[in-house]
């Protein structure tokens, strides 16, 4: 007898953007259910709903209170779960929708970027046992005290992977508007190539460097619990990309992909007194706001003063600037400057561990295009440069070509 698999599927915003698309998702879900599989379906808010809610909040205030922001953002996904459950009923299937709190997605209280503490899978399991398709609102949860939280932008991916781990699912399928994970964003680089498989480590690096096809925390979670993730198209039946453990069957290339992140801002604190403890004060103030700082550069000091620059998510810049003005005054710095028009461009590949000259090739490619580099950082398997936002797409295309990623 064929074993009944448990499959978690996640459909992103563009895949559920209108009623017709939701009915399309219901038909795809129904196909899998007909195969005799047990199914949990995680969905995002319809289309650009979440962006719209963020914009609405910013029409009220530049630095919205994070708790109230979550209250607002968590209204998006419930619309989709109800409509998808109805669409499944219309096709003759048993289905039941659950919000994040209803499925017991328990998180910490870090509003707008909450971390999952535990998932009480009981309600989901009971519904599955009753033969129902379980439809879950992605992106949202609640604290032990019942405060509504969200899991960071793109967080429906994390909901799906976490549920797959909690329910010990056979696979977590991420359905989206591209056919899989490519060597670069296929919407920017037309000749980008679909990867058949990619390791958790490379995918994690790509995701944290801005390839939004998967949320980085979802990849972290998948790696930790060994959840196989299959990224594929909502609209085509073709196999997509399998994100899995590194193995010898993977392509042996130095650079796997080029990634860009346009959601960054650069902040500089000018003429900071160069003495012990100053950096600690600056970054403690930012960390207290729950803001994650990325690249940090401190210049050589002249006459006892130095400039300090770092990057952070653009959406956090207004809150960071407010506390930094205060810290700058306290430590006797000259002032704070910021630049929202920057992009981070990265090359990623596990082969970099054992190859030299990769960074040099990246810099010479950018210089050939006349692109100035503001900041550089490296990890074991990536090199990143901050450049002017307006050159972002040009840089990605030039690097994709320089590293010969298109036709192999
Ligand atoms: P969803 O709404 O389904 O969650 P997202 O917009 O979050 O979809 O992610 C899919 C998008 O990720 C694609 O439309 C594509 O523009 C972008 N993307 C960026 N880098 C890559 C890449 N390397 N491979 C595939 N897609 C990528
Ligand atoms: N709706 C949320 C967002 O746009 C979560 C998601 O789509 O994954 O960020
Ligand atoms: Mg997404």
Whether residue 403 contacts residue 347, with contact meaning beta carbons closer than 8 Å, is answered with yes
Q: Is residue 279 part of a domain?
A: no
Return the pLDDT at 1: 45
Residue 349 lies in a domain: no
Give a yes or no: residue 214 inside a domain: no
Please answer whether residues 402 and 358 qualify as being in contact, where contact means their C-beta atoms are separated by less than 8 angstroms: no
- The pairing of strands 229-233 and 171-176 is parallel
Q: Could you tell me the distance, in angstroms and rounded to a whole number, from the CA of residue 68 to the centre of ligand 3?
A: 22
Question: pTM for the complete prediction?
Answer: 0.92
What pLDDT is attached to residue 63? 83
What is the reported pLDDT for 179? Answer: 95
What per-residue confidence (pLDDT) applies to 318? 85
Q: Which ligand is nearest to the CA of 138?
A: 2
User: Which residue, among 29, 48, 47, has the nearest Cα to 39 in the 3D structure?
Assistant: 29
The CATH number assigned to the domain holding 168 equals 3.40.1160.10
Distance of CA 353 to the CA centre of its chain: 24
In sequence order, the β-bridge partners of residue 175 are: 11, 232
Please report the pLDDT score of residue 373 as a whole number: 96
Q: List the one residue out of 220, 215, 185, 152 whose CA is nearest residue 345.
A: 185
Domain around 79 = 6-177
The whole-number pLDDT of residue 134 equals 98
Instruction: Give distance in angstroms: CA of 76 to centre of ligand 2.
Output: 9
Q: How many Å apart are CA 79 and CA 300, to the nearest integer?
A: 53
Q: Give the mean pLDDT per block of 10 residues along the chain (408 residues).
A: 82 98 97 94 98 97 93 98 98 98 97 95 93 98 98 97 96 97 96 95 94 96 97 93 82 86 93 90 90 88 90 89 92 93 95 86 97 93 95 97 86
Residue 273 placed within a domain = no
Cβ-contact 198, 247 below 8 angstroms: no
Distance CA 371, CA 363 (A): 9
CB atoms within 10 A of CB 55: 10
* pLDDT value for 249: 61
Ligand 1 center to 206 CA (angstroms): 11
Which of 105, 156, 213 to mutate for ligand 2's pocket (most ligand atoms within 8 Å of CB)? 156
State the pLDDT at residue 352: 87
Please report the atom of ligand 1 found closest to the CA of residue 176. 3
- Which element (helix H / strand E) includes 171? strand 171-176
Supply φ then ψ for residue 284, to 5 degrees.
-65, -40
The Cα 149–Cα 155 span in angstroms is 11
Which residues, judged by CB distance below 6 Å to any ligand atom, belong to the binding site of ligand 2? Answer: 12-13, 44-45, 50, 76, 138-139, 153-157
Residue from 25, 139, 212 whose mutation best tests the ligand 2 pocket (most atoms within 8 A of CB): 139
- Which among 124, 123, 154 has a CA at the least distance from the CA of 140? 154
CB 348 within 8 A of CB 296: no
Please check whether residue 82 lies inside any domain of the structure.
yes
Residues with CB under 6 A from ligand 1: 12-15, 44, 154, 176-178, 181-182, 184-187, 211-213, 257
Six token digits for residue 274: 């160069």
Which residue out of 12, 13, 213, 231 has the highest number of ligand 2 atoms within 8 Å of its CB and is therefore the one to mutate? 13
CA of 384 to the centre of ligand 2 (A): 25
Structure token digits, residue 328: 């700058």
Number of domains in the chain: 1
Separation of alpha carbons 357 and 390, rounded Å: 27
Please tell me the distance between residue 12's alpha carbon and the centre of ligand 2 in angstroms: 7
Q: Measure the CA dihedral 390/393/339/54, to 10°.
A: 110
CA dist., res. 56 & res. 136, Å (int): 25
User: How far, in Å, is the centroid of ligand 3 from the Cα of 11?
Assistant: 9
| Å from CA of 44 to ligand 2 middle | 6
Q: Please state, in angstroms and rounded to a whole number, the distance separating the CA atoms of residues 134 and 83.
A: 13
User: 220 in a domain, yes or no?
Assistant: no
* C-alpha of residue 144 to centroid of ligand 2, in Å: 23
Mutate to test the pocket of ligand 1, among 159, 179, 182, 185 (most ligand atoms within 8 A of CB): 185
Question: How many residues can be counted in the chain?
Answer: 408
Question: Could you tell me if residue 36 is inside a domain?
Answer: yes
E-state strands within 234-353: 241-244, 257-273, 296-298, 305-313, 335-348
Residue 224 resides in a domain:
no
């Amino acid at each position: 007898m064929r074993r009944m698999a448990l499959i978690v599927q996640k459909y992103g915003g563009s895949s559920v953007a209108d009623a017709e698309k939701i009915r399309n998702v219901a038909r795809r879900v129904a196909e899998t259910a007909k195969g005799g599989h047990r199914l949990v379906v995680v969905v995002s808010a319809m289309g650009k709903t979440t962006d719209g809610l963020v914009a609405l909040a910013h029409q009220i205030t530049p630095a919205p209170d994070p708790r109230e922001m979550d209250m607002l953002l968590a209204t998006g996904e419930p619309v989709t779960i109800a409509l998808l459950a109805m669409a499944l009923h219309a096709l003759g299937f048993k289905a039941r929708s659950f919000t994040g709190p209803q499925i017991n997605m328990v998180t910490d209280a870090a509003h707008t970027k909450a971390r999952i503490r535990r998932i009480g899978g009981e309600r989901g399991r009971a519904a599955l046992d009753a033969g129902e398709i379980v439809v879950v609102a992605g992106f949202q949860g609640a604290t032990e005290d019942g405060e509504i939280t969200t899991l960071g932008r793109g967080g429906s991916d994390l909901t799906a992977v976490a549920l797959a781990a909690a329910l010990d699912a056979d696979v977590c399928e991420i359905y989206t508007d591209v056919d899989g994970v490519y060597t670069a964003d296929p919407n920017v680089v037309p000749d980008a190539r679909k990867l058949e498989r990619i390791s958790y480590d490379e995918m994690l690096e790509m995701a944290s460097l801005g390839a939004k096809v998967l949320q980085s925390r979802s990849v972290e979670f998948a790696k930790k619990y060994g959840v196989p993730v299959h990224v594929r198209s909502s609209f085509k039946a073709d196999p997509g990309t399998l994100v899995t453990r590194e193995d010898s069957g993977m392509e042996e290339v130095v650079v796997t992909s080029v990634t860009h992140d346009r959601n960054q801002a650069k902040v500089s604190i000018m003429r900071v007194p160069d003495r012990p403890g100053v950096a600690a004060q600056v970054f403690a103030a930012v960390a207290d706001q729950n803001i994650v700082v990325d690249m940090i550069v401190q210049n050589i000091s002249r006459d006892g003063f130095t400039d300090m620059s770092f990057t952070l998510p653009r959406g956090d810049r207004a809150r960071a600037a407010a506390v930094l003005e205060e810290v700058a005054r306290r430590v006797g710095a000259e002032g704070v400057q910021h630049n929202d028009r920057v992009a981070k461009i990265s090359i990623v590949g596990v082969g970099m561990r054992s190859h030299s000259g990769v960074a040099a090739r990246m810099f010479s490619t950018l210089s050939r295009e006349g692109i100035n580099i503001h900041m550089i950082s490296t990890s074991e398997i990536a090199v990143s440069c901050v450049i002017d936002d307006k050159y972002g797409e040009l840089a990605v295309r030039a690097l994709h070509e320089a590293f010969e990623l298109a036709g192999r």
